[in-house]
């Protein structure tokens, strides 16, 4: 069974745009991130990115994880480690 899910992007039929209201902004960010993480798209984009671009993406992702997840949440939700 797959550990990761990207169902939101498959079912969301709301407005995709930023700046309208908080809920739409959250939906749009989730939509963009799930679309961006598509394996086929990543194969195209990653080969074209500079070393600096790769570092920037990695640093932003790390900053978000550190800022908004506790250590146990990081292991549970990001690393998908089983408890106990």
Q: How far apart are CA 33 and CA 74, in angstroms?
A: 18
Query: What is residue 84's predicted lDDT score, i.e. its pLDDT?
Result: 56
What is the per-residue pLDDT for 75? 96
Residues 20 and 43 in one domain: yes
Measured over the CA atoms of residue 38, residue 39, residue 40 and residue 43, the dihedral's sign is positive
Domain assignment present for residue 5? The answer is no
- Asked if 55 and 33 sit in the same domain, the reply is no
* pTM summary value: 0.86
Compute the distance between CA of residue 84 and CA of residue 78 in angstroms, rounded to an integer. Answer: 16
What confidence tens digit (pLDDT) does each residue in 16-49 have?
999 999 999 999 999 999 999 999 999 999 999 9
Give the pLDDT confidence of 3-19 residue by residue, as tens digits.
888 899 999 999 999 99
Q: Residue 20 is part of which domain span?
A: 16-48
How many domains does the chain divide into? 2
């Amino acid at each position: 069974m797959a550990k990761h899910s990207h169902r939101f992007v498959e079912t969301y039929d709301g407005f995709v745009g930023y700046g309208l209201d908080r809920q739409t902004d959250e939906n749009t960010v989730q939509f963009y991130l799930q679309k961006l993480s598509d394996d086929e798209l990543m194969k195209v984009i990653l080969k074209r990115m500079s070393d600096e671009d790769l570092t920037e993406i990695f640093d932003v992702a790390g900053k978000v994880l550190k800022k908004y997840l506790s250590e146990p949440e990081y292991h549970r939700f990001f690393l998908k480690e089983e408890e106990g």
